[in-house]
Amino acid sequence: MNKKVKISVVGIGLMGLQHIKAIKKSKFSSLHSIVEIKKKGMELSKKFKVPLYKNIKILLEKDKPDAVIIATPNILHETDTIQFLKSKIPVLLEKPISDNIKSAKKIITSANSNKTSLLIGYHRRHNSIINNIKKIIESKKLGQIVSANVLCWFYKHKKYFHEKWRINEGGGPLGINLVHDIDMICYLLGPVKYVQAFKSNNIRKFKVEDTASVNLFFKSGALCTLNISDTVTSPWSYELTAGENPAYPITDQSSYFIGGTKGSVQFPNLKLWYYKKERSWWNRIHNNKIKVQKSNETLINQINHFSQVVMKKEKPKVTGLDGLNSLIIFDAIKKSSKSGKRIKIN
């Protein structure tokens, strides 16, 4: 397949629209069609000059695309994705892989049995900063990784909470925001053995959490604290520091801190800290600013990668198992914050 990969997008809401923009900017793909149940589908079909299908079944009967992006609500991910996998059409599935573990496993089984590619939409992994950090960790420049600290502090404005689902169970910052950080820290530091978490709604008083702190104990022996709040006035979160989405005014700060026996790294404002002389807190610690271009093109990079996957030139960077892994950890966070107990990840 040397031509552009023809991609259909299912579910044209907030995220579906972002994917359409990315497809149009990618030199490897073109928009094949859209699937949207709401009335707005007609307008969007005219705007983007592609056919509109009312549901997936009709699309599959009439004109199969080369590939599909699924950006429907999480509860529909299983049925929507499996229909395409059964037709051997590769899927880029928005995160989280599903709303529950059993259903996530069914999606993975279907991808395997149909020998069809599945890429999960954790788009931060397509950022060159993250690829750089991964290389630094693997090069052992930091020595053995001891601990990590991830800050996800931001302030969500009042209007955000007018949508009622955002103030009830499942609509809080753990499920919406922290899942990205869970995926990323596991990508960087490997599999997790134990999870322990606390959450609080002390400030906003909604049914859902506004703040949580999560401890991860990695199989490597490294520890990590992820601290999230949507009610802290602060510049320290990936969204505000990475510059991936121009909707967030960028701050010149870092939100990830990873420490090893020989050095530490902070990012997205990338600095590597180390000793020139003997490692000792009595000696001056130096830092090198690592120049990596901040980029707001991660969604385009993701589409480029997906197109290569469809053309069988690359393997999915974020697999179904990665999607399942972050869902299992998210589930453990929910359980631990209710019971107060440490949860073992198998």
Residues of span 39-78 touching ligand NAD by CB under 6 A: 71-74, 76
Q: Which of 15, 50, 111, 188 binds ligand NAD (CB under 6 A)?
A: 15
Q: Which of 5, 9, 10, 67 binds ligand NAD (CB under 6 A)?
A: 10
Residues of span 71-130 touching ligand NAD by CB under 6 A: 71-74, 76, 94-95, 121, 123
14 binds ligand NAD, rule: CB under 6 A: yes
Q: Which of 24, 38, 341, 344 binds ligand NAD (CB under 6 A)?
A: 38
Residue 272 or 299 with smaller CB distance to ligand NAD: 299
Residue 1 or 42 with smaller CB distance to ligand NAD: 42
Q: Which of 22, 35, 119, 329 binds ligand NAD (CB under 6 A)?
A: 35
Residue 40 or 279 with smaller CB distance to ligand NAD: 40
Residue 56 or 265 with smaller CB distance to ligand NAD: 56
Residue 1 or 37 with smaller CB distance to ligand NAD: 37
Size of the site for ligand NAD (CB under 6 A): 20
Closest distance between ligand NAD and the C-beta of residue 54, in Å? 8
Nearest residue to 227 via CA among 257, 268, 270: 257
Can you give the binding site for ligand NAD, defined by CB under 6 A? 10-16, 35-38, 71-74, 76, 94-95, 121, 123
